[in-house]
Amino acid sequence: MSAGRDMTHEGVYLRFFMHANARHGGMLLHEWILEQAKREGLAGGSVFRAIAGFGRHGVLHEEHFFELAGDLPVKVEFILPAPQAERLIGIVRASGAALVYARSPTTYGVIEPTPGRNP
């Protein structure tokens, strides 16, 4: 007996990496990316803040109680159909924002409750 429908799709796991205090267009870059995705009608995205990390320059950034976390890395991620991922990458690229991104093929699923059944 199935508790719900599980629909799987092929798509892209898209991640953008930047410093938490990076700005673009008068707002925080991670907020700007989410706003662009929302404007494009994408299904959703999430921002995650690291507690420590280092980038291509080898400088270690860590969260400390008495320091601001502006230099810590943040990750904005999406799971999207390939055409939407390419569109978002194009928007970010055209903006001139400085960041790193990773794009990986993925299979993702959406689990929905069975109609008429209380979860």
pLDDT tens across the length of the chain (119 residues)? 455 577 899 999 999 999 889 999 899 999 999 999 999 999 899 999 887 777 777 777 666 654 555 578 899 999 999 999 999 999 999 999 999 999 999 999 988 877 776 65
User: pTM of the full predicted structure?
Assistant: 0.82
Cα 88 to Cα 12, 44, 46: the distances in Å are 12, 12, 14
What whole-number distance in Å separates Cα of residue 16 and Cα of residue 118? Answer: 37
The predicted structure's pLDDT at residue 30: 97
Task: Catalogue all structural domains in the chain, each as residue range(s) with its CATH number.
Answer: 10-106 (3.30.70.120)
The predicted structure's pLDDT at residue 59: 72
The predicted structure's pLDDT at residue 33: 98
